[in-house]
Each structure stands twice: as structure tokens, then as C-alpha cells.
Structure 1
Amino acid sequence: MITVHSIIEAMGGTRKAARSLDLPPSTVQSWKTKGRIPAGRVLEVERLSRISRSDIRPDLHPKDIAA
């Protein structure tokens, strides 16, 4: 399972992720604490981390299941 911590590390850590997202580091740190990236940031985080949205927020973006 991919964790918020590992997603942020893939983006270069808390400070680099915050800088890339134009947010204060405390905001990105709060995502790690809460264990969830906000829905409104999923696509941007996907683009920057190269981790699929279905791995970032499977509750919002379930993986397609081949029929």
C-alpha cells in the first residue's frame, strides 16, 4: 500500500513538495499527519509525483477492473 508519507517522499520530501505545490510546508506536513491528500490536490500531486491518482486516493479514483 502506498502511504501519504511515501508519496511526499517521491516528490522530494515535505519542503520540496510544498514548494512545488506553492503551499506552506506545514500544510503538506498536515497531510502526512492525517494520512490523506485532499481531493482538490490529487491531480496536481499525481503529476508531480508520477504516482497514479488511484494509488493516491483509491476512495475517489478506484482502479479500473477489467471485465
Structure 2
Amino acid sequence: METNLSPHGALMRALELAGSQAKLGKIGGVSATAVQKWISAGRVRAESVLAIEAATGVSRHDLRPDIYPRPQPKTAAEAGDDGEALSPWDTGEYANYDPNLDLFPGAVH
């Protein structure tokens, strides 16, 4: 499935996959007329997003990014929020490590 569609683009993709405004309305629990209003407004009503995602595979993050923002990847610092100490490998401290030389930056040999 495509990612990072605009809300209107995601709605149009869901409509294409559903097959018609009436079928998309049935999935979303509304009439075909309501679907036409969604198209004019450029977005799906919040109450219908999860059902449309389940039926069409179009992501909730694309359909309504205002209420389902895309999760951001964790930083190395956030990854250690469980109380577990981060190793220098996790923090990027050894980012310049050259396994061919078996040397760490700043190491005295």
C-alpha cells in the first residue's frame, strides 16, 4: 500500500478500492451522499477511519493525519527509557569504529 498520501488522496484510494461511493459509505457507516461530502471536504469523518482502514488497507495515518499522526522513530536516548543502560553502540559513540583495524577512535595502541 502507498504511504504518505494526502488525506484527499487517501480517501480517493479508499474509494477506488471499495468500488463505489455507496460501498465506501457502507464500510464507513454513512450514505453515499455523506461520502460525496467527504470528497468535497477532502477528508473522512473520524468515526469511519478505522473501518475504512480495515476494509481497504488505506492507512489511518494517511486518511486522518490530524488525529492519527505517523509514529516518529525513537532516538537512541529514548530507546533507553526503560531504565536499561545504553551501550556505546546504541548511542553512536562507536560510530567511527573500524572493525578492519579493530580500533576505536581515540584509543591508544
Look up the match of 1:29.
36
Q: What's the TM-score once normalised by structure 2's chain length? A: 0.54
Q: CA deviation at 1:26?
A: 0.5
1:42 aligned onto 2:43: no
Look up the match of 1:15.
22
Distance 1:63 1:22 in 2: 25
Greater percentage in helix: 1
Q: What's the TM-score once normalised by structure 1's chain length? A: 0.81
Unaligned runs of 5+ in 1: none
Q: CA deviation at 1:22?
A: 4.2
- Indicate the structure (1 or 2) with the bigger Cα radius of gyration: 2
Deviation string 1:7-61 (CA, Å, 9 cap, x unpaired) is 2222212122123344321011110111010111111111111111111111111
What SS class does the counterpart of residue 63 from structure 1 fall into? coil
Distance 1:11 1:63 in 2: 24
Distance 2:30 2:19 in 1: 14
CA change 1:22–1:42 in 2 (3 A) is: closer
Look up the match of 2:60.
53
State the identity %. 28
- Figure out how many residues of one structure are paired with residues of the other and give that number: 67
